[in-house]
């Protein structure tokens, strides 16, 4: 570790009177894991990391090879805004390593770093992303009673959610996270706080912090925040629309002023890559059984594999170009949901886009018609496919995906598929209230 970075962290901890530091990392499902150390142990941790048992972490090693090292990333040191001024608590993200000091192949951060290295080798200095995460506030974790009944952009002045959202934004700013805007979403008690775009690794860390802050602020006020994709049956689910662009130095590699869509060949092939591989990557950006309850026509979640400039029913949207804003040229993938592992999602999407560039995939013409209004036969005639309709179908697509294997690596690929097969089997055996209500009286 760089000596200057180490000293900076030690000085920050001393200046803020930090007494505990939480070490953060994620399992392969994107669940945040944490353990705390006292400030007296911080210097040793910065030098050699901290050992832990990886056998109890979902997707990590078996018990006979379970020794892992959590190596803190000094650039991520941050004091919790809600900490007391005395005896403060801070956090750092960690890179997981083997006892030999090598990157651990099961660490989602390492998977994303490998994808970024591929982009660098292909001449791209930065992969910028701007995910928009939606979430719900409920009275508690035992049910889905909303805090408000507002709709899209509604000014709900009298409900608790407005002040919760405001306090969350202020806490994120204290973390050094740039918030662009926040607002009420379409569904009852559904909200969105949008973060300003950043490089993929920094943004992935920010997303994990964002989700933690949203939940923490809610808990401190006696309510519950959830990033579950579809908690309410007759309301829109929560998405994670993900804006993406590649840069070469200060130049946006997606922009071409001479193209009718202002898209470069690089951008077109990148988008084509994500469209072509969307079905096999579905298990990453929509990883739960519940994810596919959101991905149905009629609730704004796109399921049809096409792109457009204005049409939000397509899987990919390319926001309109405004003169002087060449750096803002980007694509928006609208199918991910906020329950996804953000590191694996960014890695898989980047690999799909780079595959398109490397192999020269051609982008079809944009689809500006409302795809929800087309019949199945019309979409079939136009060659428009759909995302998988269930986790089971997503697993089948993933099982035959060479790209996904390459993006995740053998370890994560196999472990993730095993975990998802178990989830699907568990779900398939459930007898739901719907089935009892529909079939019991007549069969």
Predicted pLDDT of residue 380: 83
Phi first, then psi, for residue 381 (nearest 5°) are -65, -35
Structural domain spans, the chain: 3-98, 113-434
Residues 6+ apart with CB under 8 A from 64: none
Is the distance from CB of 382 to CB of 368 less than 8 angstroms? Answer: no
Rounded CA-CA distance 224/303 in Å is 29
Is the distance from CB of 96 to CB of 104 less than 8 angstroms? Answer: yes
Topology (CATH) of 113-434: Creatine Kinase; Chain A, domain 2 (3.30.590)
User: 3-98 maps to which CATH number?
Assistant: 3.10.20.70
Rounded CA-CA distance 424/422 in Å is 5
Burial 165-201 (b: 16+ CB within 10 A, else e): bebbbebbeebebebeeeebbbbbbbbbbbbebbebb
Is the distance from CB of 236 to CB of 229 less than 8 angstroms? Answer: no
Partners of residue 267 on adjacent β-strands: none
* C-alpha distances in Å from residue 369, one per residue of 304, 316, 342, 362: 12, 13, 31, 21
Partners of residue 183 on adjacent β-strands: 192
Predicted pLDDT of residue 413: 97
On the CB side of 66, CA atoms within 13 Å amount to 11
Rounded CA-CA distance 181/166 in Å is 10
pTM of the model: 0.94
Q: Per-residue pLDDT for the chain (443 aa), expressed as one digit of tens each?
A: 678 888 999 999 999 999 999 999 999 999 999 999 999 999 999 999 999 888 888 888 765 567 899 999 999 999 998 888 888 999 999 999 999 999 999 999 999 999 999 999 999 999 999 999 999 999 999 999 998 877 776 666 555 678 888 899 999 999 989 998 888 888 888 999 999 999 999 999 999 999 999 999 999 999 999 999 999 998 899 999 999 999 999 999 999 989 989 999 999 999 999 999 999 999 999 999 999 999 987 666 789 999 998 777 789 999 876 777 788 899 999 999 999 999 999 999 999 999 999 999 999 999 877 777 777 888 888 888 999 999 999 999 999 999 999 999 999 999 999 999 999 999 999 999 999 999 999 99
């Amino acid at each position: 570790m760089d000596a200057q970075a180490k000293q900076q962290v030690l000085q920050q901890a001393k200046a803020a009177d930090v007494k505990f530091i939480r070490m953060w990392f994620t399992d392969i499902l994107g669940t945040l894991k944490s353990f705390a150390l006292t400030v007296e142990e911080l210097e040793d941790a910065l030098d050699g990391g901290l050992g832990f048992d990886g056998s109890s972490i979902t997707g990590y090693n078996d018990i006979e090879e379970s020794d892992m090292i959590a190596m803190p990333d000094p650039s991520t040191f941050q004091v919790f805004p809600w900490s007391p001024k005395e005896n403060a608590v801070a956090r750092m993200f960690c890179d997981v390593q083997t006892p030999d000091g090598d990157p651990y192949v099961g660490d989602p951060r390492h998977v994303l770093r490998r994808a970024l290295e591929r982009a660098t080798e292909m001449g791209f200095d930065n992969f910028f992303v701007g995910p928009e995460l939606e979430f719900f506030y409920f009275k508690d974790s035992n049910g889905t009673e909303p805090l408000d009944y507002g709709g899209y952009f509604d000014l709900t002045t009298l409900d608790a959610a407005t002040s919760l959202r405001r306090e969350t934004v202020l806490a994120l700013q204290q973390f050094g996270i740039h918030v662009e805007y926040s607002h009420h979403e379409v569904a009852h008690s559904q909200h969105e706080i949008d973060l300003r775009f950043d490089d993929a690794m920094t943004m992935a860390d920010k997303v994990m912090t964002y989700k933690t802050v949203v939940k923490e602020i809610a808990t401190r006020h006696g309510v519950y925040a959830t990033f579950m994709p579809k908690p309410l049956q007759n309301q829109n689910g929560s998405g994670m629309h993900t804006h993406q662009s590649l840069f070469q130095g200060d130049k946006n590699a997606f922009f071409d002023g001479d193209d009718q869509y202002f898209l470069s060949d690089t951008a077109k092939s990148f988008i084509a890559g994500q469209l072509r591989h969307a079905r096999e990557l579905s298990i990453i950006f929509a990883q739960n059984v519940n994810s596919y309850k959101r991905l149905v026509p009629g609730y704004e979640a796109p399921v049809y594999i096409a792109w457009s400039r204005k049409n939000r029913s397509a899987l990919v949207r390319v926001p309109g170009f405004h003169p002087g804003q060449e750096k803002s040229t980007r694509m928006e993938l609208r199918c991910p949901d906020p329950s996804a592992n953000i590191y694996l999602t960014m890695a898989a999407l980047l690999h799909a886009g780079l595959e398109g560039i490397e192999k020269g995939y051609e982008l079809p013409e944009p689809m500006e018609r409302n795809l929800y209004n087309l019949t199945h036969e019309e979409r079939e005639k136009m060659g428009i496919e759909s995302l998988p309709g269930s986790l089971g179908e997503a697993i089948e697509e993933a099982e035959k995906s060479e790209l996904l294997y390459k993006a995740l690596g053998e370890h994560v690929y196999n472990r993730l598929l095993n975990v998802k097969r178990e989830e699907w089997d568990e779900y398939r055996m459930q007898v739901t209230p719907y089935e009892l209500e529909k079939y019991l009286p007549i069969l």
